[in-house]
Amino acid sequence: MTHNAQRKLFIFVCLVPAFLFFCLFTIYPIVRGMYISLFDWSGSSEHMTFIGLNNFKALYEDPIVWKAIGNDYFLVVGKVIGIVLLATLFAISVTRLRIRGAAFYRLVFFIPNIISIVVIGVLWRFVYNPSIGFLNAFLSLFSDTPVKTPWLGDTGTALWSILWPSIWAGVGFYFLLLVAAILGIPASLYEAAEIDGASQATQFRRITLPLIWEQVKVSILHIVMTTLNGSFVMVLLMTEGGPDNATQVLGSYLYQMGFKQFHMGAAAALGVVILALSMLTTLVLQLLLRRDPVELS
Amino acid sequence: MTMKKGILVMLVTALVFLLAACGTNGNDNNKSPGTSESASGSPDGSTSASNSPEAIPTGLKGDFEIQYFVGGYGDAWWKDVIDQFQKLNPELNIKQSAGPKINDQMKPRWIQGNPPDVVYIDGSGSNPRQMVEDDQLLDLTDWIADAKNIDGEKLLDVMIAKPDEYNGSIYNIPLVFGSYGTFYDQALFEKNGWEVPQDYESFLALSDKIKASGISPYVHAGIYPDYILGGFLYPAIISANGDDGQILKDMGDMKEGVFKSEPVMKALNQLKEITDKGYIDPGAVAINHTDSQMMFLQHKAAFIPNGLWLESEMKKDAPADFKYGFVPSITQAKGGKFVALPYTSTMAVAKKAKNPETAKAFIQFIFTKQASLSWAEKTGALMNVKVDLESSSAGDTAKNAMKYYNSDNTIVAPVVVFNADVFKVMGDATIALTMKKITPEEWADRVEKAAAKVRK
C-alpha cells in the first residue's frame, strides 16, 4: 500500500463512523420529521393519512403559532441583549478593571451553568410563587399590604418572568468565553494605549471590542440557536405555556401538540418551522454581524 | 484499494447485522399469532365461567400478555391477581409488560399493530379516547351487557361507575374509581366555627367570612385546569341541568351548541361570580397542583378542588393536626343534591389482541368484591366495585367518599373523557375567565369553535 493510500484510509476510518452516526441520529430524524409533517397522524395509531401541506396550512391559521413565534423572538432578543451586555460587563470588570476578588466572581457567575436546568426552573418558580415566594416577600418589605403579584400568572409579566432566569442561567458561560478572549489580548497593546493617554472606555472601544468581536459573534449566534431550540424547557417547567397560552413558544407548543393533543403530524410540522426559522435567523445574523476581521500583527 | 473494499464490506456487514437485529424482533412478533390460534380455539373457558360460580376460568392455554402502568398505586395488587389467575391456568403463558414508563415502551408495538391482549390505561401518555379514535380497542358493548364475574354477579351491577360510551359503544371498563370534590381542613373549620357548605349559597356566605379573616377562600392549580373543571365547573353544569349527567356526555361527544347551552352558561357565571368577588386566591392562576396543595395545607386557602388521591399524595407534608374533610360539590342550589364528578382508570382489550377471550376472562376474574377490597387495602384507593370498606384498612378520605357515593343525596356523574383538543381550549378558556380576560360568552364561543373543528 502506498503512503498516499494509507493516508486516505486513515482519513476514511476517522470520518466514516462519525458520519454514519451523524446520519443515523441527525439527518435521518430530520428527514423523517419532515416526512411525518405531511401526514395526519396521532403518534400512536397504525394509520397515517397523507394530507400534503395541510398541517402547515393549519399552523399558519393558528393564532397561537404566531404568538409563540413572537414569544420566541422576544426571548431571543431579550437574552441576546441581556446576556451579551452582562457577560461583557462582568468580563471587563474582572480583567481590565482589576476589581478585587476576580477569581471569586468567576466562580460565582459560572455556578448557574453547573445547576441542571430543571433545578433552575423549579427554583425560580418558588421565587415567583405568589404567596410563599421570595420575590413577593421581599417586595412586601417596602409596602404596607403584602404583595401577592402572580408573576407567572399575569399575561403582562409571565414572559418577562421567564426571561430573567434564562439570562441568569446563561450569563456564566459567555462570561468565561469573553474572559478567555480578553486575557488573550497582549498586555502591550493596553500599555501602549495608556501611554498615549487612552481612557478605559477608549481602550474598550478601540482595542478590546474589535479583538473579542469573533467571540461576541459566536456568543450571539449560540444564544440565538439555543434559545430557539431550547427555551421550551424553561417554559414547560415554569408555566406549561400558560396562562391562556401567554408564554407558549414553538417548542412547548410542539410538545403540547404532539404528546398531549395527539397530533404528531402537526408537531412534526412545527419542528420543521423551528428548523427553518433557526436557519434563517442564523443566516441573517451572520450577514448582519459581519465585520472586517481585526488581526494582531 | 483492497483495504478500502475490506472496510466497505465491514461496514455493509455491520449494517446488515443492525437490520437483522430489527428483523428478529419482527420474527418474534410473527410467531405469536400462530400460537394464539390454539388458544382462541378454546374460548369456551371464559363464556362458561360467566354462567355459574363454580366455572372459574381454568385450562386456558396459549400466550397472554397484559400491559399495566405502575404509578401511585404500585404493582402489589396486579402481581397478586395475576398470580391467582396463573394458578388457575397453569398452561397459560402470561407475560406482564409493566412499569412507570410502560406507555412509552409499548407505543411502538401498538403502532406496528402488535399490541398486548389486555391493557390497563393509566399514567402520562395514555388517553382512552385517543385509543378509541386510533381504532386500537375492541368493541365490548355486547360482551359487557351480560358478562358476569366469577362469583356469578353481572359486571355492570357491581360497578360504581358505568363504562364510558363513545358514540354509543363501550370499549373500556373502569377499574379504578375516585371522584373530584372540594376539600377543607376539618380542624381549621372547627376552630373557627365555620359550617361546611351544603350548597352554593352557603359556600358564598362562608367564603365572605373566610375572606374577612384574611385567608383566601378558594385555591386551585391554574397550570392544570383539570382541578377546577372537575371540582367546580362540571358539577355546577350538572346541577344546573337538573341533576342530569347526560349534558356532560353531550359535551364529551361535542354535540353542537352544548357548550353555549343554558346550564353551561349558568355554571360559568357561578365561576365568574366567585372570581369577581375575589374568593379565588389571586396567585392560583400561576401555580401547579403541588403549590396549590401546599397553600391549602398551610392554611393560606380554605377550600381546594382536588381528587381522592390528595390525602395520600400529601401524606408527608400535612401538619399533624390536619383533618381532611370532603364534599363532592359546592355549586348546587339550596336543597339540591351533591354531584360527584368521577375519574376512572380503565381496562380494555386490544382490537388486535391475539387472545381476546382470555383477556375477557381475565377482566371477569378481577371484577370481584374480594379483589376490590384487596385493592383498597393495597393501594389506599377505590376499585370500581361496590364493597363495604368500613372494616377495611382503607384511608379516611376513601371511606368518607364511599359514604357519599352510597347516599341518595349524591349523584355520581357519568365518566367522560374529553377530546384532547377541546379539553385544551376549555382549560385555557376557563383560566382566562378566572383572570377576567374573557366573559362566559367568549368562553362558550371559543369552545364551540374548537369542538366544530374536531367534528369536521
B291 at interface of A, judged by CB pairs closer than 8 A? yes
Both B379 and B288 in a single domain?
no
Interface contact B431, partner A, CB < 8 A: yes
Q: Is B99 on the interface with A (CB under 8 A)?
A: no
Lowest mean pLDDT among A57-61, A180-184, B13-17, B194-198: B13-17
Partners of B420 on chain A (C-beta within 8 Å) are: 260-262
Same-domain pairing of B237 and B300: yes
B110 domain residue, yes or no: yes
**Is the Cβ pair A158, B286 closer than 8 Å?**
yes
Q: Show the 3-state SS of B276-320.
A: HCCCECCCHHHCCHHHHHHHHHCCCEEEEEEECCHHHHCCCCCCC
The mean pLDDT of B33-58, rounded to a whole number, is 42
Domain shared by A3 and A142, yes or no: no
pLDDT of residue B39: 36
Nearest to A130 among B1, B133, B286 (CB): B286
Q: Do both B209 and B251 map to the same domain?
A: yes
Flag whether B243 is in a domain: yes
Judge whether residue A99 has pLDDT over 90.
Answer: no
Same-domain status, B161 and B64:
yes
pLDDT 10s digits, A194-247: 999 988 889 999 999 999 999 999 999 999 999 998 889 999 999 998 899 999
* Model confidence band, residue A296 (pLDDT cutoffs 50, 70, 90): low
Cβ contact (<8 Å) for B295 and A132?
yes
pLDDT in tens, B128-140: 888 998 999 999 9
| A89 and A197 share one domain | yes
pLDDT digits (tens, 9 = 90+) for B206-248: 999 999 999 999 999 999 999 999 999 999 999 999 999 999 9
B166, B132 contact by CB (below 8 A):
yes
Average pLDDT in chain B: 85
Tell me, yes or no, whether A274 and A232 share the same domain.
yes
Mean pLDDT of chain A: 91
Same domain for A241 and A116:
yes
- Domain tally, chain A: 2
The verdict on A9 and A41 lying in the same domain is no
A133 CB neighbour count, 10 Å cutoff: 25
Are residues A23 and A54 located together in one domain of the fold? no
Residue B37 lies in a domain: no
Give yes or no for B284 touching A (CB within 8 A).
Answer: yes
Looking at the structure, do residues B101 and B246 belong to the same domain, yes or no? no
Cβ contacts (< 8 Å) between A13 and chain B: which residues? 7
Residue type, A4: N
Residue B117 above 90 pLDDT?
yes
Assign A297 a pLDDT band (cuts: 50, 70, 90).
Answer: low
A262 touches chain B (CB under 8 A): yes
List the single residue in A with minimal CA-CA distance to B114: A46
CATH of residue B302's domain is 3.40.190.10
A57 and A9 within one domain: no
Distance, CA of B49 to CA of B85 (rounded, Å):
13
Nearest C-alpha neighbor of B427 from the set A53, A260, A186: A260
Please indicate, yes or no, whether residues A63 and A22 belong to a single structural domain of this protein: no
A129 touches chain B (CB under 8 A): yes
| CATH number of the domain enclosing A147 | 1.10.3720.10
Quick check: A267 and A186 in contact, CB under 8 A? Answer: no
Structural domains of chain B, count: 2
Range of the domain at A267: 37-296
Q: In percent, how much of chain A has pLDDT > 70?
A: 98
Beta-carbon neighbour count of residue B21 at 10 Å? 9
User: Are B132 and B86 within one domain?
Assistant: yes
| A250 and A280 together in one domain | yes
Q: Are B173 and B363 in contact (CB under 8 A)?
A: yes
pLDDT tens track for B441-451: 999 999 999 99
End-to-end CA distance of chain B: 62
Q: What's the gap between Cα A262 and its chain centre?
A: 28
Q: What confidence tier does A281 reach under pLDDT thresholds 50, 70, 90? A: very high
Answer whether residue B26 is part of any domain: no
- The nearest alpha carbon in chain A to B113 belongs to A46
Instruction: Return the residue of B nearest to A241 by Cα.
Output: B223
In a domain, B312, yes or no: no
Check: CB of residue A278 under 8 Å from CB of residue A226. Answer: no
Residue B191 and residue B174 share a domain? no
Torsion, Cα B15 B17 B21 B23, to 10 degrees, reads 80
Whether A2 has a pLDDT exceeding 60, the answer reads yes
The answer to whether residue B442 neighbours chain A at the CB level (below 8 Å) is: no
Same domain, residue pair A75 and A141: yes
Give the model's confidence band at B333: pLDDT under 50 very low, under 70 low, under 90 confident, else very high: very high
Q: Are residues A18 and A58 in the same domain?
A: no
- Looking at residue B32, its pLDDT comes to 35
B187, B325: one domain: yes
Q: Are residues B77 and B146 in the same domain?
A: yes
Give the pLDDT confidence score for residue A143 in this predicted structure.
Answer: 86
pLDDT-derived band of residue B24, with 50, 70 and 90 as boundaries?
A: very low
Q: What residue numbers bound the domain in which B146 lies? A: 53-178+343-412
pLDDT at residue B48 in the model: 39
Predicted confidence at residue A273, as pLDDT, reads 95
Residues A80-90: tens digit of each pLDDT: 999 999 999 99
B367 shares its domain with B379: yes
Residues of B in contact with A245 (CB under 8 A): 428
Confidence (pTM): 0.83
* Per-residue pLDDT at B5: 52
Measured CA to CA, the distance from residue A238 to residue A184 in angstroms comes to 39
Distance of alpha carbon B132 from alpha carbon B172, whole angstroms = 9
pLDDT band at B43 (very low <50, low <70, confident <90, very high): very low
| 3-state secondary structure (DSSP) of residue A50 | strand
Residues B72 and B99 in one domain: yes
Gap between the Cα atoms of A164 and A124, Å rounded: 10
More confident residue, B43 or A182: A182
Q: How confident is the model at residue B38 (pLDDT cuts 50, 70, 90)?
A: very low
Assess contact for A148 and B283: CB atoms under 8 A.
yes
Q: Does the residue B45 lie in any domain?
A: no
A12 lies in the same domain as A155: no
Residue B337: pLDDT over 70: yes
Chain A interface includes B113 (CB < 8 A) = yes
